[in-house]
Protein backbone atom coordinates (compact mmCIF):
# COMPACT_ATOMS: atom_id res chain seq x y z
CA UNK A 1 0.00 0.00 0.00
CA UNK A 2 1.36 3.42 -0.97
CA UNK A 3 0.89 6.75 0.74
CA UNK A 4 -2.62 7.23 2.12
CA UNK A 5 -4.13 10.66 1.45
CA UNK A 6 -7.14 12.14 3.20
CA UNK A 7 -9.49 14.50 1.30
CA UNK A 8 -11.49 17.16 3.14
CA UNK A 9 -15.09 16.67 4.21
CA UNK A 10 -17.43 16.59 1.21
CA UNK A 11 -14.62 15.98 -1.30
CA UNK A 12 -14.55 12.80 -3.37
CA UNK A 13 -11.96 13.54 -6.08
CA UNK A 14 -14.32 15.00 -8.63
CA UNK A 15 -16.66 17.87 -9.41
CA UNK A 16 -18.92 18.12 -6.36
CA UNK A 17 -22.14 19.84 -5.35
CA UNK A 18 -22.46 19.41 -1.59
CA UNK A 19 -25.09 20.30 0.95
CA UNK A 20 -24.09 20.36 4.61
CA UNK A 21 -27.10 19.44 6.72
CA UNK A 22 -27.48 20.77 10.27
CA UNK A 23 -28.12 17.24 11.52
CA UNK A 24 -24.44 16.36 10.96
CA UNK A 25 -24.67 14.69 7.54
CA UNK A 26 -23.06 15.89 4.31
CA UNK A 27 -24.75 14.94 1.04
CA UNK A 28 -22.55 15.15 -2.05
CA UNK A 29 -23.21 14.65 -5.76
CA UNK A 30 -19.89 13.83 -7.44
CA UNK A 31 -18.84 13.50 -11.06
CA UNK A 32 -15.70 11.38 -10.85
CA UNK A 33 -12.92 13.15 -12.73
CA UNK A 34 -9.84 10.95 -12.34
CA UNK A 35 -9.16 7.63 -14.01
CA UNK A 36 -7.14 6.54 -10.97
CA UNK A 37 -7.16 7.72 -7.36
CA UNK A 38 -4.37 6.25 -5.23
CA UNK A 39 -4.81 4.95 -1.70
CA UNK A 40 -6.75 7.39 0.47
CA UNK A 41 -9.23 7.42 3.32
CA UNK A 42 -11.93 9.72 4.64
CA UNK A 43 -12.00 10.98 8.20
CA UNK A 44 -15.72 10.23 8.50
CA UNK A 45 -17.70 7.10 7.58
CA UNK A 46 -19.65 7.45 4.34
CA UNK A 47 -21.97 5.68 1.92
CA UNK A 48 -21.60 5.99 -1.85
CA UNK A 49 -24.38 5.17 -4.30
CA UNK A 50 -23.14 4.93 -7.90
CA UNK A 51 -25.89 6.63 -9.90
CA UNK A 52 -24.36 6.39 -13.39
CA UNK A 53 -21.45 4.60 -15.01
CA UNK A 54 -19.18 2.44 -12.89
CA UNK A 55 -16.02 2.27 -10.85
CA UNK A 56 -13.62 -0.29 -9.41
CA UNK A 57 -12.85 0.23 -5.75
CA UNK A 58 -10.12 -1.67 -3.94
CA UNK A 59 -9.44 -2.16 -0.24
CA UNK A 60 -6.80 -4.14 1.61
CA UNK A 61 -9.25 -7.07 1.72
CA UNK A 62 -11.25 -7.01 -1.50
CA UNK A 63 -11.83 -5.35 -4.88
CA UNK A 64 -15.39 -4.25 -5.68
CA UNK A 65 -16.67 -3.93 -9.25
CA UNK A 66 -19.35 -1.25 -9.01
CA UNK A 67 -21.92 -0.60 -11.72
CA UNK A 68 -24.80 1.86 -11.50
CA UNK A 69 -26.96 1.40 -8.36
CA UNK A 70 -24.12 -0.19 -6.39
CA UNK A 71 -24.10 0.92 -2.74
CA UNK A 72 -20.79 1.02 -0.84
CA UNK A 73 -19.97 1.75 2.78
CA UNK A 74 -16.58 2.80 4.17
CA UNK A 75 -16.03 3.28 7.85
CA UNK A 76 -13.84 6.11 9.13
CA UNK A 77 -10.22 6.09 7.95
CA UNK A 78 -10.64 2.88 5.92
CA UNK A 79 -8.01 3.00 3.09
CA UNK A 80 -9.15 2.33 -0.47
CA UNK A 81 -8.37 3.27 -4.08
CA UNK A 82 -10.54 3.97 -7.16
CA UNK A 83 -10.22 3.08 -10.84
CA UNK A 84 -12.69 4.72 -13.25
CA UNK A 85 -13.36 3.24 -16.69
CA UNK A 86 -13.88 5.55 -19.70
CA UNK A 87 -17.14 7.48 -19.73
CA UNK A 88 -19.27 9.37 -17.24
CA UNK A 89 -19.42 8.11 -13.64
CA UNK A 90 -21.61 9.83 -11.05
CA UNK A 91 -22.00 9.10 -7.36
CA UNK A 92 -24.13 10.29 -4.46
CA UNK A 93 -22.44 10.27 -1.06
CA UNK A 94 -23.65 10.60 2.50
CA UNK A 95 -20.92 11.42 5.01
CA UNK A 96 -21.59 11.02 8.76
CA UNK A 97 -19.95 13.53 11.11
CA UNK A 98 -18.73 12.71 14.65
CA UNK A 99 -21.31 14.97 16.30
CA UNK A 100 -24.11 12.98 14.65
CA UNK A 101 -22.86 9.58 15.78
CA UNK A 102 -22.04 10.88 19.27
CA UNK A 103 -25.38 12.61 19.79
CA UNK A 104 -27.32 9.52 18.70
CA UNK A 105 -24.98 7.10 20.52
CA UNK A 106 -23.96 5.14 17.43
CA UNK A 107 -20.95 2.87 17.99
CA UNK A 108 -19.16 2.90 14.63
CA UNK A 109 -16.85 0.11 15.80
CA UNK A 110 -19.77 -2.33 15.50
CA UNK A 111 -20.04 -1.60 11.76
CA UNK A 112 -17.91 -3.24 9.05
CA UNK A 113 -14.70 -1.57 7.87
CA UNK A 114 -16.04 -1.58 4.33
CA UNK A 115 -18.83 -3.32 2.46
CA UNK A 116 -20.58 -3.60 -0.87
CA UNK A 117 -24.16 -3.63 0.35
CA UNK A 118 -26.40 -6.21 -1.32
CA UNK A 119 -29.14 -6.55 1.30
CA UNK A 120 -32.25 -5.20 -0.47
CA UNK A 121 -33.70 -3.74 2.72
CA UNK A 122 -30.57 -1.66 3.33
CA UNK A 123 -30.48 -0.44 -0.27
CA UNK A 124 -34.12 0.61 -0.09
CA UNK A 125 -33.47 2.52 3.14
CA UNK A 126 -30.64 4.38 1.45
CA UNK A 127 -32.84 5.20 -1.55
CA UNK A 128 -35.31 6.75 0.89
CA UNK A 129 -32.47 8.88 2.29
CA UNK A 130 -31.58 9.81 -1.29
CA UNK A 131 -35.16 10.92 -1.89
CA UNK A 132 -35.17 13.02 1.31
CA UNK A 133 -31.95 14.74 0.18
CA UNK A 134 -33.35 15.47 -3.28
CA UNK A 135 -36.84 16.52 -2.14
CA UNK A 136 -36.32 18.01 1.35
CA UNK A 137 -39.09 19.43 3.50
CA UNK A 138 -39.39 20.63 7.10
CA UNK A 139 -39.21 17.09 8.54
CA UNK A 140 -36.50 15.68 6.26
CA UNK A 141 -33.84 16.01 8.97
CA UNK A 142 -35.87 13.94 11.43
CA UNK A 143 -36.77 11.39 8.78
CA UNK A 144 -33.17 11.04 7.63
CA UNK A 145 -31.90 10.55 11.19
CA UNK A 146 -34.39 7.73 11.71
CA UNK A 147 -33.51 6.08 8.38
CA UNK A 148 -29.76 6.22 9.03
CA UNK A 149 -30.23 4.77 12.52
CA UNK A 150 -32.32 1.96 11.04
CA UNK A 151 -29.60 1.28 8.47
CA UNK A 152 -26.91 1.13 11.14
CA UNK A 153 -29.02 -1.12 13.38
CA UNK A 154 -29.60 -3.55 10.50
CA UNK A 155 -25.93 -3.44 9.47
CA UNK A 156 -24.84 -4.21 13.05
CA UNK A 157 -27.22 -7.17 13.11
CA UNK A 158 -25.88 -8.47 9.81
CA UNK A 159 -22.29 -7.97 10.94
CA UNK A 160 -22.95 -9.82 14.21
CA UNK A 161 -24.65 -12.70 12.38
CA UNK A 162 -21.76 -12.89 9.91
CA UNK A 163 -19.32 -13.47 12.78
CA UNK A 164 -21.35 -16.45 13.97
CA UNK A 165 -21.95 -19.75 12.23
CA UNK A 166 -24.81 -19.51 9.76
CA UNK A 167 -26.59 -22.59 8.41
CA UNK A 168 -25.91 -23.42 4.78
CA UNK A 169 -29.49 -22.76 3.70
CA UNK A 170 -29.12 -18.99 4.39
CA UNK A 171 -26.78 -18.40 1.47
CA UNK A 172 -28.69 -20.77 -0.79
CA UNK A 173 -32.10 -19.19 -0.22
CA UNK A 174 -30.63 -15.73 -0.74
CA UNK A 175 -29.34 -16.87 -4.14
CA UNK A 176 -32.63 -18.57 -5.02
CA UNK A 177 -34.69 -15.49 -4.18
CA UNK A 178 -32.42 -13.19 -6.19
CA UNK A 179 -32.58 -15.56 -9.16
CA UNK A 180 -36.38 -16.00 -9.02
CA UNK A 181 -37.63 -12.69 -7.60
CA UNK A 182 -39.79 -12.11 -10.70
CA UNK A 183 -41.54 -15.49 -10.42
CA UNK A 184 -44.39 -16.74 -8.19
CA UNK A 185 -42.76 -18.17 -5.07
CA UNK A 186 -43.98 -20.64 -2.47
CA UNK A 187 -42.49 -21.02 1.00
CA UNK A 188 -43.30 -24.73 0.95
CA UNK A 189 -41.65 -25.38 -2.42
CA UNK A 190 -38.52 -23.47 -1.40
CA UNK A 191 -38.37 -25.34 1.91
CA UNK A 192 -38.65 -28.63 0.02
CA UNK A 193 -35.81 -27.58 -2.29
CA UNK A 194 -33.69 -26.70 0.74
CA UNK A 195 -34.63 -29.94 2.52
CA UNK A 196 -36.22 -28.01 5.39
CA UNK A 197 -39.66 -28.00 6.99
CA UNK A 198 -41.57 -24.94 5.80
CA UNK A 199 -42.50 -23.94 9.39
CA UNK A 200 -38.84 -24.04 10.43
CA UNK A 201 -37.87 -21.91 7.42
CA UNK A 202 -40.61 -19.38 8.17
CA UNK A 203 -39.57 -19.14 11.83
CA UNK A 204 -35.81 -18.88 11.19
CA UNK A 205 -35.84 -16.64 8.10
CA UNK A 206 -36.25 -13.30 10.00
CA UNK A 207 -33.25 -14.11 12.22
CA UNK A 208 -30.91 -13.86 9.23
CA UNK A 209 -32.79 -11.49 6.89
CA UNK A 210 -34.38 -9.08 9.41
CA UNK A 211 -37.83 -9.31 7.85
CA UNK A 212 -40.28 -12.02 6.85
CA UNK A 213 -40.17 -13.99 3.62
CA UNK A 214 -42.75 -11.94 1.70
CA UNK A 215 -41.25 -8.60 2.75
CA UNK A 216 -37.81 -9.71 1.58
CA UNK A 217 -39.06 -10.73 -1.86
CA UNK A 218 -40.93 -7.43 -2.23
CA UNK A 219 -37.77 -5.52 -1.28
CA UNK A 220 -35.77 -7.38 -3.93
CA UNK A 221 -38.39 -6.48 -6.54
CA UNK A 222 -38.35 -2.81 -5.53
CA UNK A 223 -34.55 -2.75 -5.52
CA UNK A 224 -34.49 -4.18 -9.04
CA UNK A 225 -37.05 -1.63 -10.19
CA UNK A 226 -34.85 1.23 -8.98
CA UNK A 227 -31.99 0.03 -11.15
CA UNK A 228 -34.26 -0.30 -14.19
CA UNK A 229 -35.80 3.17 -13.80
CA UNK A 230 -32.61 4.80 -15.09
CA UNK A 231 -33.33 3.13 -18.44
CA UNK A 232 -35.56 5.72 -20.12
CA UNK A 233 -36.39 3.21 -22.85
CA UNK A 234 -38.50 1.19 -20.40
CA UNK A 235 -41.99 2.27 -19.45
CA UNK A 236 -43.12 1.94 -15.85
CA UNK A 237 -45.40 -0.92 -16.95
CA UNK A 238 -42.40 -2.71 -18.49
CA UNK A 239 -40.45 -2.28 -15.26
CA UNK A 240 -43.36 -3.47 -13.11
CA UNK A 241 -43.76 -6.68 -15.12
CA UNK A 242 -40.01 -7.37 -15.35
CA UNK A 243 -39.76 -7.10 -11.56
CA UNK A 244 -42.59 -9.51 -10.82
CA UNK A 245 -45.41 -7.09 -9.94
CA UNK A 246 -48.89 -8.02 -11.14
CA UNK A 247 -49.31 -4.70 -12.97
CA UNK A 248 -48.24 -1.05 -12.84
CA UNK A 249 -50.93 -0.21 -10.28
CA UNK A 250 -49.54 -2.80 -7.85
CA UNK A 251 -46.03 -1.53 -8.51
CA UNK A 252 -47.11 2.08 -7.87
CA UNK A 253 -48.71 1.19 -4.52
CA UNK A 254 -45.70 -0.78 -3.28
CA UNK A 255 -43.23 1.83 -4.46
CA UNK A 256 -45.05 4.76 -2.87
CA UNK A 257 -45.48 2.82 0.37
CA UNK A 258 -41.70 2.41 0.67
CA UNK A 259 -40.53 5.80 -0.70
CA UNK A 260 -43.38 8.24 -0.17
CA UNK A 261 -43.41 9.19 -3.87
CA UNK A 262 -44.64 7.53 -7.04
CA UNK A 263 -42.24 5.79 -9.44
CA UNK A 264 -42.86 8.62 -11.91
CA UNK A 265 -41.79 11.27 -9.40
CA UNK A 266 -38.78 9.28 -8.27
CA UNK A 267 -37.69 8.87 -11.87
CA UNK A 268 -37.59 12.66 -12.21
CA UNK A 269 -35.20 13.16 -9.29
CA UNK A 270 -32.95 10.21 -10.15
CA UNK A 271 -31.93 11.73 -13.48
Q: For residue 85, what is the domain's CATH number?
A: 2.60.120.10
Residue 93 resides in a domain: yes
pLDDT in tens, 1-15: 545 565 656 567 778
DSSP E strands in 8-125: the ranges are 14-20, 25-32, 36-40, 46-52, 54-58, 63-67, 71-74, 80-83, 90-96, 114-117
pLDDT in tens, 119-134: 999 999 999 999 999 8
Length of the chain: 271
Instruction: From 101, 210, 207, select the one nearest 155 (Cα to Cα).
Output: 210
Q: Are 193 and 168 in contact (CB under 8 A)?
A: no
- Percent of the chain's residues with pLDDT above 70: 93
pLDDT in tens, 22-58: 678 999 999 998 899 999 988 899 999 999 999 999 9
Query: Which of 117, 136, 153 finishes a domain?
Result: 117
Residue 34 resides in a domain: yes
Report the mean per-residue pLDDT for the chain. Answer: 88
What is the pLDDT at residue 8? 57
Check residues 271 and 192 and name the one with the higher pLDDT: 192
Residue 203 resides in a domain: yes
Amino acid sequence: MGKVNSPLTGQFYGQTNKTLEPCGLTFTDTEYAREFVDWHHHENPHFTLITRGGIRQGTSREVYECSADTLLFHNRQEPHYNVKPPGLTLGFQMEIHPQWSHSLEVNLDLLPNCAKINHPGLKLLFYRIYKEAKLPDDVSSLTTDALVLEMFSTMCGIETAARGKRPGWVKKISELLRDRFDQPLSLRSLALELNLHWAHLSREFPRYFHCNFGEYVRKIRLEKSLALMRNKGLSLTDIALQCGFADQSHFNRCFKEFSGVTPKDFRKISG
